[in-house]
Structure 1
Amino acid sequence: MENKYTGRTFIVEIVAIVLGLIFLVPFYYVVSNSLKTFAEILTNTSALPTVLQFSNYVQAFEKLDYLRVFTNSLIITVASNVVLIIFCSMAAYMLVRTKKKISNIIFMTFVAAMVIPFQSIMIPLIKTAGNLGMLNSMWGLVIMYLGFGSGMTIFLYHGFIKNIPVELEEAAIIDGCSPFGVFWRIVFPLLKPITVTVMILNSLWIWNDFLLPSLVLQDPELRTIPLATFFFFGQYTKQWDLALAGLVLSIIPLLIFFFSMQKHIIKGITSGSIK
């Protein structure tokens, strides 16, 4: 049946465009003010820069020690994604295929953990991490991200795995494949759409996270990009021109990654939500 362009469609498109422009307003302020002098920012934050101050980016790059903090953020984000994907995919697979009441209880526990605010467990978490020697350690931070990210990751994998026919696994077992081999050779390759979705969502969260790294990583050599950007704001001075330029530098790698992978987000989520 041919789809007709109606007045209702036109209104929906206008509303979508307006909402899109509203969401782009913060990006306009960040980018435009990152190209102004400090005095010009204080004078008028809404106006376009009179002279483009690309020197802000040069200074921000140097003061951030950008290559080092970028490397730290990249290591933490990649390592956290790897452990989350490996452990949570296996956990979700066992929870789906093990038809016992305890599996449902464990799954619901992971889902319930998603609603616990971080602030309510922040102090005991840091105290425990200190006792275990996990402070001032990127790998200690990765383990914490595994704990905090498991709920959502297992939830997404769980919904997707339920759509995979059990007959594929039974055929592999008949051919002599071990349970471990069934998962990694048969099931895991089929999880590519949701794995990409999980990777994107967790990367957005971990790359931009400020609170947990600020509590765990006290050594300046271990700072991530959000932590390094924060140090443009001192007790008596706030270097808005350099801070905004540093913020743009921190966003660019994530935008490139997101736009290159975004087509997989809806595909992965909808595949896991329809049975």
Structure 2
Amino acid sequence: MHQKKKRYKMWLTIIGLVIALIWLSPFYLMLVNAFKTKFDIFNSVLALPETLTLDNFRQAFIDLDFLNALMNSLIVSGASILIIIIFSSMAAYALSRNKSRLSGGIFLIFVAAMLIPFQSVMIPLISIFGKVNMLNTSGLIFMYLGFGSSLSIFLYHGAVKGIPVSLDEAAMIDGASRWTIFWKIIFPMLKPITMTVMILNVIWIWNDYLLPSLVLSQAYATIPLRMFFFFGQYTKQWHLALAGLTIAIIPVVLIYFFAQKHIIKGVADGAVK
């Protein structure tokens, strides 16, 4: 029996390593080829670069107008995530504490909205926002609030259900309002799920191309939109594109690195309780 368990763990380890290598292969290709010339990439994609050069990064930084694109991405991502966290957490708290058919029905509508693909509402959405002159950064942030609220409310709702109602009642006895109870007592206890909501939306919004391409002009283009600069009709500058991608993922990797300890706990709190 002991030998069987040992072999079972060994096979699990091997399978895990294989899956990890497959998952990491795109990052390997991106990092390795970001330091190659265009000729070296077409000569051998998998091989390590013979000589490391930073010219690709310098040129990509200039061609992308990186500082402007970075600022646009930070504004869109930061503002979108902030309002998603604020409104989703408050909505989830209200729906969780109100035990009625109406609140249950509203919650089910939010959950069902996760099944609706963006492509099915893309054309009417852009048409409506165009009529009210909101095809700009503020309009894009408002759209992200709509698309990001469903999953965020679902996660927050499960986490709030795990917090005893007796805390609310004790605070009410002491004279606290609902607003004070939520922001001073409940919301600080939702830190793990807040970090989870943040990182999930950062990954989505930071890398989104389709929605910003329909809304933003070139002057306010985010990094994914500017990346299209390297892919013309007759040529594709893979060496510069991969260098640009390497620069672009650094902020997301840093955020994930500092928030990773909260993610698993937050998902468990939000989806299981």
TM bracket (short chain) = over 0.9
Deviations 1:197-223 (A, max 9, x none): 1001010100000000000002x2201
TM-score (norm 1): 0.95
CA shift for structure 1 position 5: 7.3
Which residue identity is paired with 2:25? V
- What secondary structure sits across from 1:6 in the alignment? helix
CA shift for structure 1 position 119: 0.7
CA shift for structure 1 position 157: 0.3
Which residue identity is paired with 2:34? S
Could you tell me how far apart the structure 2 residues matched to 1:42 and 1:79 are? 40
CA contact (8 A) 2:110 2:150 kept: yes
Superposed, which structure 2 residues align to 1:1-275 within 5 Å? Answer: 6-135=6-135, 137-218=136-217, 220-275=218-273
Which residue identity is paired with 1:157? Y
Which residue identity is paired with 1:14? I
- What secondary structure sits across from 1:235 in the alignment? coil
Could you tell me how far apart the structure 1 residues matched to 2:271 and 2:39 are? 51
Could you tell me how far apart the structure 1 residues matched to 2:93 and 2:188 are? 13
Unmatched runs of 5 consecutive residues or more in structure 2 = none
Shift in alpha-carbon separation, 1:201–1:131, aligned structure 2, 3 A: same
Could you tell me how far apart the structure 2 residues matched to 1:257 and 1:266 are? 15
Could you tell me how far apart the structure 2 residues matched to 1:273 and 1:122 are? 29
Could you tell me how far apart the structure 2 residues matched to 1:271 and 1:145 are? 24
Which residue identity is paired with 1:269? V
- What secondary structure sits across from 2:227 in the alignment? helix
How many residues align? The count is 270
TM-score (norm 2): 0.96
CA contact (8 A) 2:154 2:271 kept: no
CA shift for structure 1 position 19: 0.8
CA shift for structure 1 position 53: 2.4
CA shift for structure 1 position 49: 1.4
CA shift for structure 1 position 156: 0.3
CA shift for structure 1 position 274: 3.6
CA contact (8 A) 2:61 2:244 kept: yes
Could you tell me how far apart the structure 1 residues matched to 2:270 and 2:47 are? 45
Deviations 1:72-130 (A, max 9, x none): 11111110111001111111111111111011111111111101111111100100110
- What secondary structure sits across from 1:253 in the alignment? helix
Which residue identity is paired with 1:206? I
Could you tell me how far apart the structure 2 residues matched to 1:53 and 1:240 are? 15
Shift in alpha-carbon separation, 1:117–1:273, aligned structure 2, 3 A: closer
CA contact (8 A) 2:69 2:220 kept: yes
